[in-house]
Amino acid sequence: MLAAARAEVRRREEALVEARDKLAAMETMEQAMQWCTARYGRDGTDPITPPTPADHKRVDEAQSNLGTDQHGSGRGERSALITSLFRAEPDRWWKAREVADALGGLKANNIRMSLNHMTRMERLIKSPDARYRLAPSQIPDPPALVTGQADAAPVTASNAE
């Protein structure tokens, strides 16, 4: 009988230790929830203003001025190739796979990243079905046509009649 009582006391002590551990864990979770509520508010929105497209544009411009992105991927060189390809057919809408194939089989995902980067930089326009073309500001003006007297052959004594 004494052994049974001791076993019961041990079981209750273990249950008490387990309950204390759960209580400590719950208090820790409560503290974490209070911190999150204080930090983010009840609706879960972050009071810190997220980066705006203008912020992204400034970073992208700084990276493109270097010729490569911060990881040295050569995005500047790739975007120059893409721009020259798009200028060859300025009215065409391109899929990333078509651009990759036209540039010699580069990885379509890398091209897609460059295309999205160039879209953020407002060099390209992206359609809802993920096709890209040059932004109007990037399309070169056609050569000016000179008309009028400047085009006419100079007047000489032989053709004045």
pLDDT tens digits, residue range 109-153? 888 999 999 999 888 999 999 899 888 887 776 665 555 554 555
pLDDT of 132 reads: 92
pLDDT of 72 reads: 45
pLDDT interval class at 66 (50, 70, 90): very low
Most confident of 6-10, 33-37, 154-158: 6-10
**Which residue's entry shows tokens 């057919």?**
89
pLDDT of 31 reads: 79
Of residues 97, 103, 68, 69, the one with CA closest to residue 84: 103
Q: How far apart are the two ends of the chain, measured CA to CA in Å? A: 140
For the ranges 69-83, 90-104, 125-139, which has the lowest average pLDDT? 69-83
> pTM for the full model?
0.44
CB 77 within 8 A of CB 63: no
CB 75 within 8 A of CB 63: yes
CB 97 within 8 A of CB 110: no
